[in-house]
Structure 1
Amino acid sequence: MKISIISLGCSKNSVDSENLIGLLEASGVEVVSDVGEADVALVNTCGFIQPAVEESVNTILDLELLKEQGRLKKIGVVGCLVNRYGDELKQELPSVDVWAKAEEWALVARSLGLVPAAEPVRGMLSETRPWSRYLKVGEGCDTFCSYCTIPSIRGRARSIDIPRLSSMASDLAEKGAKEICLVGQDLTIYGRDLYGEPRLRELLSELDRELPRDVWIRLLYLHPSRIDERFIDFVAGHERILSYLDIPVQHVDPEVLKRMNRPSDEEHIRRIFSYARKADPFFALRTTIMVGFPGETESQFSKVLDFLEQAMIDRVGAFIFSPEEGTPAAAMEDRVSSEIGEERYRRLMELQSEISLERQKLFLEKKLRVLIDEIDYEDDTAWGRSYREAPEVDGLIGISGGSVLEEGQCVEVRITDAAEHDLFAKIAGE
């Protein structure tokens, strides 16, 4: 039996897909990257927001067509969409052979007539770069933002213990990982369910001790309310832990934050970003902003623009509020019109483009250590990332004369030019 897995959604979903691949391979089947070569196709779905739901449904319909044409024997639907809309989907998609919620990987194996392996090893998606891997520290979320579906889809926060995570990280390093990105719905609450209090720093200290010295540790998705000056100093004081923090604030106005069911301490948000800048002017900061939340006024939105100018954030991901079925925010009145939401989004991104370019120019003529992701041999250019660029979401560094390099190699470069998202460089010493 040959099985192909289509993985949709976020990096946390990619980890799930690789865990499923590992289980299936250990259970005796061949996992192939091309659906055209497979007997069975499984889609690991995303159900976080409506565009993701639509992408998942369209992918399922494409697989149904392949099954009708006799090109697939079975199809399966697993993951977040099943958690969110499982009963409805089963009625509307009767040709689907396998259904399983997120983490029900043993059920997938049994549904295919396999005996689940007792101790599977994490597999790898065909698009995964072996030198850059994600390590999911837990599942679920306890924050309950009023606009978010994650707690209803994935449940309460459940952490993986420190010894197990240390073992998993070491295994990734042995398989060639040069960069390990820690992910979870919110890293700052890691361990609270297991140890009675958050233990992120203890986890990081353990990884710092156990991993080879040339492996980067990158932190993604940190709730601002639980970031303080001591934590910023901790990160800045550990060379292996990259000076890069992804802290999604969503907004800064106290009233908007309150309606979002997020801590509404605007002063704290501004203070921690300011502290990081003072601690290290080259500290890489990323955040996420939501515009057009119900009731957002022009003056409240202006506070966001002021915050961006004050904090000088390197990277910003912005999106317009979307009412998600079943969330408290979807029932809120005083909706912001789509026209106003789009106009605010445009203004925010225009401002951030200027800020991003200004931050990029700080690195002209400086040296950076870069992890090579891909090489364009025709253009004689290598593309990679430094500590400032997280995989998939940030810009890249283009290195001229890079065809002499190798993918997965770390190299020191000198920055020669800067654009809004990307930097350009030469190999240091040339």
Structure 2
Amino acid sequence: MKLCLISLGCSKNSADSENLIGLLEASGVEVVGDVDEADVALVNTCGFIQSAVEESVNAILDLELLKEQGKLKKIGVVGCLVNRYGDELKHELPSVDVWAKAEEWGLVVRSLGLIPEANPARGMLPETKPWSRYLKVGEGCDTFCSYCTIPSIRGRARSIGIPKLSAMALDLAENGAREICLVGQDLTIYGRDLYGEPRLKELLAVLDRELPRDVWIRLLYLHPSRIDERFIDFVAGHDRILSYLDIPVQHIDPMILKRMNRPADEEHIRRIFSYARKADPYFALRTTVMVGFPGETETQFSKVLNFLEHAMIDRVGAFVFSPEEGTPAAAMEDRVSPEIGEARYRRLMELQSEISLERQKLFVKKNLRVLVDEMDEEDGTAWGRSYREAPEVDGLIAISGGTALEEGQFVEVRITDAAEHDLFAEIAGE
């Protein structure tokens, strides 16, 4: 059996897809990267927001058409969309052969007429770069933001134990990983369900001690309310734990934060970002901001712009509020019009473009250690990332004269120029 797995959505979904691929391969399935080569195709869906739902549905419809044309024998739908809309989907899409919720990977294998193997090795998606891998520390979320569907889709927070995560990280390193990105809905609550209190620092200390010295550890998705000065000092004090924190604030105004069901502590948010800047002016900070939340006034939106200017955040992901079915925020009054939401989004991103460029220019004439991601053999340029660039979401560093470099290796470069998203460099010493 030749099977193609289409993985949509976030990095956590990518980790899920690779676990499923490992189980499929251990069960005797040949996983291929092109649906045209496959007998069976599965799509691991995302159901977080409506745009992701639409992307997932379109991918399913494409597979349905291929099955109708006789190009696929079976098709399957797995993951978050099934968790959120499973009964409706099964009624609307009777030609789908395999249905499974997120993490029901054994059911997928059994639905294909195979017997799941115990303790399979993790697989890899065709697009995965083996030197940069995601390690999911748990599942679900206990925060219950009023706009978010994750708790209803994925359930309450469930952590993976430290010994198992350590073994998983070592396995990734043994298979070529030079960067391990820890992901979860919120890393700051890691371990609370297992140990009675969060144990993220303990997990990081174990990984720092046990992983080979040439492996980076990157932290993604940290709730600001549980980040303090001691945690920032902890990260800054460990060389292999990159000085890069992804702390989605969503907003800064206390009233909007309260309506979002997030801690309404503007002072704390401002303080931790300011502390990170003072602890290390080159600390890489990323955040996510939502505009157009119900009730947001122009004054409240302006506070977000003020925060970005003062915090000098390296990179910002922004999006306009989307009223997701079943969430408390979807029923809130005082809805901001889509036109105003889009206009605020554009204003925010224009400001952030200026801030990002200013931050980028700080690194001109400085040396950075870069992990090479890809090569352009035509012009001899190598593209890579330093501690400041997370895979997929941030910019890249273009290294001129990189023909002798190899993908997956570390190289010391000297930054020669800066743009809003990307940096330009030459190999240090040349």
TM-score by length of 1: 1.00
Match of 1:80 in 2: 80
CA distance in 2, matches of 1:353, 1:28: 49
Using the TM superposition, give the Cα deviation of residue 48 of structure 1 relative to its aligned residue in structure 2, in angstroms. Answer: 0.3
Alignment correspondent of 2:319: 319
Measure the CA separation in 2 of the matches of 1:19 and 1:423.
34
Task: Identify the residue that residue 218 of structure 1 maps to in structure 2.
Answer: 218
CA offsets per residue over residues 284-335 of structure 1, 9 Å max, x none?
0000000000000011001000100110000000000010000000000000
**Partner in structure 2 of residue 28 of structure 1:** 28
The aligned residue for residue 91 of structure 2 is: 91
- Deviations 1:232-266 (CA, angstroms, capped at 9, x unpaired): 00000000000000000000000000000000000
Hey, what's the Cα distance between the residues in 1 that align with 2:222 and 2:47?
22
Q: Which runs of 5+ in 1 are unaligned?
A: none
Equivalent position of 1:4 in the other structure: 4
Task: Quote the residue 1:13 is aligned against.
Answer: 13
CA deviation map 1:22-55 (0-9, x unaligned): 0010011111111111111010000000010000
SS at match of 2:286: strand
Match of 1:230 in 2: 230
Q: Which residue of the partner structure matches residue 67 of structure 1?
A: 67
Amino acid in the other structure paired with 1:22 = G
Query: In the aligned structure 1, how far is the partner of 2:111 from the partner of 2:380?
Result: 48
Where do 5+ consecutive residues of structure 2 fail to align?
Answer: none
* Identity over aligned pairs, percent: 88
2:47 — aligned with what?
A: 47
Q: Distance in 1 between matches of 2:348 and 2:100?
A: 40
Quote the Cα distance in structure 2 between the aligned partners of 1:52 and 1:378: 35
Whole-Å separation in 2 of the counterparts to 1:243 and 1:287: 14
- What SS does the corresponding residue of 2:143 show, helix, strand or coil? coil
CA distance in 1, matches of 2:154, 2:92: 23
Shift of 1:380: 1.2
Q: Residue 148 of structure 1 aligns with which residue? A: 148
Look up the equivalent residue of 2:194 and give its one-letter code.
Answer: L
Q: Distance in 1 between matches of 2:65 and 2:339?
A: 37
Could you tell me which residue of structure 2 aligns to residue 191 of structure 1? 191
| Partner-residue secondary structure (3-state), 1:282 | coil
Give SS of 2:399's match.
strand
CA distance in 2, matches of 1:361, 1:195: 44
Distance in 2 separating the partners of 1:29 and 1:177 = 24
| Equivalent position of 1:248 in the other structure | 248
Whether 1:365 and 2:360 are equivalent positions in the alignment is no
Q: Give secondary structure in 1 for the equivalent of 2:403.
A: helix
Task: State the shift of 1:129 in Å.
Answer: 0.1
The residue identity in structure 1 corresponding to 2:398 is: G
- Compute the displacement of 1:423 (Å): 0.3
Match of 1:350 in 2: 350
SS in 1 for 2:194: helix
Q: How does 1:263-278 map to 2 (within 5 A)?
A: 263-278=263-278
Give the superposition deviation at 1:118: 1.1
Q: Report deviation, 1:165.
A: 0.1
CA distance in 2, matches of 1:352, 1:31: 41
In structure 1, C-alpha distance between the alignment counterparts of 2:328 and 2:384, rounded to whole Å: 41
What is the distance in 2 between the residues matched to 1:210 and 1:139? 24
Can you list the C-alpha shifts for 1:260-290, whole angstroms capped at 9, x where unaligned? Answer: 0000000000000000000000000000000
Does residue 1:56 correspond to 2:62, yes or no? no
Instruction: Give the equivalent residue in structure 2 for 1:38.
Output: 38
SS in structure 2 opposite 1:403?
coil
The match for 1:170 is 170
Shift of residue 351, structure 1, vs aligned partner? 0.6
The C-alpha deviation readout for 1:150-176, integer Å capped at 9, x for no partner, is 000000000000000000000000000
What do residues 367-416 of structure 1 show as CA deviations (whole Å, max 9, x unaligned)? 00000000101121000000000000000000000121110010000000
Instruction: Please give the TM-score of this superposition, normalised by the length of structure 2.
Output: 1.00
Alignment match, 1:416: 416
Using the TM superposition, give the Cα deviation of residue 113 of structure 1 relative to its aligned residue in structure 2, in angstroms: 0.4
SS at match of 1:404: coil
Distance in 2, matches of 1:23 and 1:159, equals 21
Aligned length: 430
Deviation at 1:15, TM superposition (A): 0.4
Alpha-carbon distance between aligned partners in 2 of 1:192 and 1:219, rounded to the nearest angstrom: 18
Question: How large is the RMSD of aligned CA atoms in angstroms?
Answer: 0.4
Give the C-alpha shift of residue 208 in structure 1.
Answer: 0.2
For residues 173-195 of structure 1, give each alpha carbon's deviation from its aligned partner in whole angstroms, at most 9, with x where no partner exists. 00000000000000000000000
- Does the residue aligned with 1:95 lie in a helix, a strand or coil? coil
Where 1:398 maps in the other structure, the secondary structure is strand
Q: Deviations over 1:339-377 (max 9, x none)?
A: 111111111011101100000000010000000000101
Q: What is the DSSP-based 3-state SS (H/G/I as helix, E as strand, rest coil) of the residue aligned with 2:364?
A: coil
Counterpart residue type for residue 88 of structure 2: E
Letter in 2 for 1:409: Q
Aligned equivalents of 1:419, 1:41: Cα separation in 2: 40
Letter in 2 for 1:12: K
Distance 1:254 1:379 in 2: 51
Counterpart-to-counterpart distance in 2, 1:315 and 1:187: 19
